[in-house]
Structure 1
Amino acid sequence: MENKISVVIRNKNEAEDLEFLLFNLTNRYIDSIDEIIVVDNESTDDSQKITEKYGARFETIKNFSYGGSANFAAEKAKGDIIVIFSAHSYPVSPEFFDVINEKFDFNARLAGVRCLHTPNDYRNYILNIDAEKDPNKSGLIFTGSAFRKKVWEKIPFNDKVPTFEDKDWTKRVLKNGYQIEFAPVVFAYKVSRTKAQTYFRRTNDLLGNYQIWHREIKVRQAFNNVMATFLNGFKNLFLDVYYAIKFFFFVLKFKKRKPEKFKY
Structure 2
Amino acid sequence: MEEARTELTGRNSAAISNPYLSIVIRARNEAEGLHRVFEALRAQRCDFAWETIVVDNESEDETPELCARYGARVIKISRDEFTYGRALNRGIAAACGELVLLLSAHSLPVGSRFLEAAVAPFADPQIGAARCLNAHDLEQMAAWYRARDISYRSLEEQREAEIGSEWTRLYPAATCCVLRRALWERIKFDEEIEANEDKLWASQILRHGFVVRCCAEAVYFYTRHRGRRAARMRDLREHLALYRLTGQPPLGRARFALRVIKAMFLAPLVSARYLCEQVSWNFALLSIPHKARRSPRSGSVPEFDARQAVR
TM-score (norm: length of structure 1): 0.81
**Closer, same or farther: CA 211–92 of 1 in aligned 2, 3 Å:** same
Match of 2:306 in 1: none
Q: For the residues of structure 2 that align with 1:226 and 1:59, how far apart are their CA atoms?
A: 50
Relative to structure 2, which stretch is displaced further, 170-179 or 216-225?
Answer: 216-225
- What is the Cα deviation at residue 199 of structure 1? 3.5
1:215 aligns with 2:231: no
Distance 2:261 2:46 in 1: 48
Alignment size in residue pairs: 256
Q: Residues 198 and 101 of structure 1: is their aligned pair in 2 closer, same or farther, counting only changes over 3 Å?
A: closer
Match of 1:200 among 221, 233, 238: 233
For residue 213 of structure 1, report the CA deviation from its aligned partner: 4.3
Query: Could you tell me which residue of structure 2 aligns to residue 125 of structure 1?
Result: 144
Moved more, 119-128 or 186-195: 119-128
Q: Indicate conservation of the 8 Å contact 1:6/1:37, yes or no.
A: yes
Q: Which residue of the partner structure matches residue 79 of structure 1?
A: 97
Go from structure 1 to structure 2 and tell me whether the alpha carbon gap of 1:32 and 1:188 turns closer, same or farther (over 3 Å shift): farther
Check conservation: 1:4, 1:80, Cα contact below 8 A. Answer: yes
Residue 14 (structure 1) aligned to one of 9, 20, 30: 30
- Structure 2 counterpart SS, 1:177: coil
Could you tell me whether the CA contact under 8 Å between 1:32 and 1:97 is conserved in 2?
no
The amino acid of 2:141's aligned partner reads Y
1:153 corresponds, among 165, 182, 185, to: 185
**Whole-angstrom distance in 1 between the partners of 2:182 and 2:144:** 26
- Quick one: distance in 1 between partners of 2:273 and 2:45? 43
Partner of 1:261: none
- Give the aligned partner of residue 14 of structure 2: none
Residue deviations 1:227-259 (CA, integer Å, cap 9, x gap): 7499398579647854774476367x38x98xx
Give, in whole Å, the separation in 2 of the partners of 1:233 and 1:182.
38
How do residues 1-264 of structure 1 correspond to structure 2 at under 5 angstroms?
A: 1-29=17-45, 32-62=48-78, 63-104=81-122, 106-117=123-134, 118-126=137-145, 130-132=149-151, 135-183=167-215, 184-216=217-249, 217-222=251-256, 224=259, 228=263, 231=267, 234=271, 238=275, 242=279, 245-246=282-283, 249=286, 253=289
Q: Please tell me whether the aligned partners of residues 81 and 146 of structure 1 are also in contact (alpha carbons under 8 angstroms).
A: yes
Bigger shift: residues 188-197 or 221-230: 221-230
1:167 positional shift: 1.1
Q: Deviations over 1:161-183 (max 9, x none)?
A: 22111111111111112221122
Residue 132 of structure 1 aligns to which amino acid in structure 2?
S
Change (3 A) 1:227 1:21: farther
Residues in 1 aligned to 2:140 and 2:19: alpha-carbon distance in whole angstroms: 25
User: Runs of 5+ in structure 2 lacking a partner?
Assistant: 1-16, 153-160, 162-166, 294-311
Aligned-residue offset at 1:131 = 2.1
The whole-number CA distance in structure 2 between the counterparts of 1:226 and 1:49 is 54
Q: Which of 1 and 2 has greater Rg?
A: 2
Amino-acid identity (%):
25
SS of 2:150's partner is: coil
Q: Provide the residue aligned with 1:260 in structure 2.
A: none
Kept after mapping to 2: 8 A contact 1:40/1:58: yes
* TM-score (normalised: structure 2): 0.70
The one-letter amino acid paired with 1:125 is W
How far apart, in 2, do the equivalents of 1:233 and 1:89 lie? 35
Unpaired runs of 5+ in structure 1? Answer: 258-264
